[in-house]
Structure 1
Amino acid sequence: MNIDRLAAILRKAAQEEIMPRFRRLDDGMIHTKSGAFDLVTEADEAAERAITAAILDHRPDTVVIGEEAVAASPALLRTALEDRIVIYVDPVDGTANFAGGLPLFAVMAAVVQNGEPVAGVIYDPLGDDFLMAERGCGAWQIFSDGRRVRQKFAEAVPLAEMGGLASTAYFPPEQRRSVLANLAKVNMFASYRCAGHEYRFAAGGNVHFLAYGKLMPWDHVGGALIMAEAGAHVARLDGSAYRPADVEGGLLVAPDKQSWDELRREVFTV
């Protein structure tokens, strides 16, 4: 699927299904999945239906796997799809932020062909702009007026000067305790509870690392490709390449291999 068409589909769903519900959700429109910060709203479900239908209307041979579809049918995530074009969709990334009225959420999609990520799109409904990448073509911020700004991950700095974004909630308990203690070695860290905005922020060179303990494809396949296209070194915490089928093993993004190795050794030890 053409990346611009995919981006237009995400934007239309956001304008019609997500933004009209922002700060207008009542209790009956918000539901808990696995815990207090793992939520689904009427906006997630409606946007995913709209995005899926629009993709299939244009490309009926495509397999669309959305976060909420997998929540309803987990077997979808284990389907062998190496010979198909797959589009992973996160209709509202940062649902807890969205449900709480915090303007920090995104709409994301990633295209995988023959098991390899080939495109990623992250749309900010409030800013009405996109972060996009196609394999081999660089990472770009695309504004509603047509402006395109090439993205570049931050340059390497010493460990003590690094600032980054780390989602520690899904690390195993022992590793989490170690990581939280070791993060004192860097200058600062935060978590936006929205991978989409974390990837957007990092693509513009604003932080020196990203770290995640849980790897659902709708959260990270597109973002990881965008980071690589922005010049970052991206790998799972054991040093192996991140693949769309990976849901465990953690992910670490850094300016280069040397910085990645130092962060892995000093902070994100397994």
Structure 2
Amino acid sequence: MSNLTDNVAALMREVAAREIMPRFRALAEGDVEEKSKGDLVTIADRASELWLTPRLEALVAGSHVLGEEAAAADPALLERLADDKALWTVDPVDGTGNFVAGRETFGVMVALVEKGETTHAWIYLPVAGELAVAERGAGAFWTSGGASAQLASGRAAPEFAEQSASFYVRFMPDEWRTSIEKHAEGIGRKESTLCSAVDYTSVALGRHDFVTYYRMLPWDHVPGTLILREAGGVVRDLETGLDYAPRTLKGPHLVARDEESWQRTAESIRAMRAHL
């Protein structure tokens, strides 16, 4: 792993210590707002993004940040995905609803996209102090309790009845939502953490078997996808069969811990859809 990997990890740890953890379970009145119905933002989200933005841009000459909160204020910033300049995606507090509720399932996510391809990714879980990092072609690594090890999720998932999965279908077209819900009836354990940082790292660690998503906002999916792929996993559109890319903003995507599991689950969901 490169010096860039270490430098960004250090920034993420610092911003969590400065702006996030002091506010965890200590949010004051007025520290939480609704960007839209059910979509919360806190002073921790905004302060973290503002702190990270200039520091990340200073690490790579000519780079820009595409942060969740800046894009919420100015959706035109998403157009930065279309050019080939180095672009940082930043989710300053992923799982904001959990953070507001005092639940520990939240994280900080950063990725570097160059010429439309993700080259580096980081996910930091501040409560546990755990970190996942990846560099394209160089593997993915997990640091916990001071020890670091390479991630390798690429082993076949168990049979459906023994699987653990998350189904996010809120934005799905009806035919995909219905077929995924039908498939879900045969899954052993269903849970929704409402936190991409936790979902992607859980699949990469082999704790979770798969996840479905439709709305693919870059700050939610770019970091986890590279980490999971470097660990042997798959993130692919169920309808087109195309692997997820940073410029993809929607589509029924299936996140799986290995190719065989992706194919088996996709076949089941597609069969359900064919019988609608």
2 CA distance for matches of 1:128 and 1:68? Answer: 24
- 1:179 CA displacement: 1.8
Task: Quote the Cα distance in structure 2 between the aligned partners of 1:58 and 1:137.
Answer: 20
Query: What residue in structure 2 maps to residue 190 of structure 1?
Result: 191
Kept in 1, the 8 Å contact 2:211–2:255? The answer is yes
Aligned residues: 268
Identify the residue that residue 210 of structure 2 maps to in structure 1.
209
The CA distance in 2 between the partners of 1:185 and 1:144, in whole Å, is: 36
**1:85 aligned residue:** 86
Give deviations 1:117-161, integer Å, cap 9, x for gaps.
01110001111121111111111112463x211112152233333
CA RMSD of aligned residues (A): 1.8
State how far apart, in whole Å, the 1-side matches of 2:268 and 2:133 are: 32
Distance 1:80 1:55, change over 3 A: closer
Q: d(CA) in 2 for partners of 1:182 and 1:214?
A: 20
- The ranges of structure 1 where at least 4 consecutive aligned residues each deviate by more than 4 angstroms after the TM superposition are none
- Identity, % of aligned positions: 37
Q: Do 2:153 and 2:258's aligned partners in 1 also have CA atoms closer than 8 Å?
A: no
Structure 2 counterparts to residues 40-51 of structure 1, below 5 A: 40-51=41-52
Task: Give the corresponding residue for 2:232.
Answer: 231
Structure-2 residue corresponding to 1:10: 12
Aligned equivalents of 2:71 and 2:167: distance in 1? 25
Deviations 1:181-201 (A, max 9, x none): 320122222110000011111
How far 1:80 sits from its partner (Å)? 5.2
Give the SS at the match of 2:149. Answer: strand
After superposition, the C-alpha distances for 1:179-232 in whole angstroms (9 at most, x for unaligned) are 223201222221100000111111111122122121010010110111111111
* Worse-matched range after superposition: 15-24 or 200-209: 200-209
- The equivalent residue for 1:170 is 171
Cα deviation 1:35-63 (Å, max 9, x = unaligned): 22x11001000000000021133435111
Structure 1: segments with no counterpart, 5+ residues: none
TM-score with structure 1 length normalisation? 0.93
1:19–1:125 contact (8 Å) kept in structure 2:
yes
Match for residue 257 of structure 2?
255
Aligned twin of 1:75: 76
The answer to whether the Cα contact below 8 Å between 1:154 and 1:202 also exists between their aligned partners in 2 is: no
Q: Decide whether the 8 Å contact of 2:93 with 2:106 is kept in 1.
A: yes
Mapped to 1, the partners of 2:51 and 2:29 lie a distance apart of: 23
CA distance in structure 2 between the aligned counterparts of 1:78 and 1:223, rounded to whole angstroms = 21
Q: Secondary structure at the match of 1:197?
A: helix
Q: Look up the SS of the partner of 1:267 in the other structure.
A: helix
Partner residue, 2:246: 244
AA aligned to 1:89 is: V
Which residue pairs with 1:151 in the alignment?
151
What is the identity, as a one-letter code, of the residue corresponding to 2:234? H
Structure 2 Cα separation of the partners of residues 261 and 107 of structure 1: 30
Q: Secondary structure at the match of 1:224?
A: helix
- The 1-side partners of 2:246 and 2:207 are apart by 26
1:35 aligns with 2:5: no
Partners of 1:101 and 1:218 in 2: how far apart?
Answer: 22
CA distance in 2, matches of 1:144, 1:119: 23
* 1:150 aligned partner, one-letter code: Q
TM-score, length of structure 2 as denominator length: 0.91
Q: Where do 5+ consecutive residues of structure 2 fail to align?
A: none
User: Residue 200 of structure 1 aligns with which residue?
Assistant: 201
Residues in 2 aligned to 1:144 and 1:81: alpha-carbon distance in whole angstroms: 39
- Does structure 1 retain, via aligned residues, the 8 Å contact 2:82–2:247? no
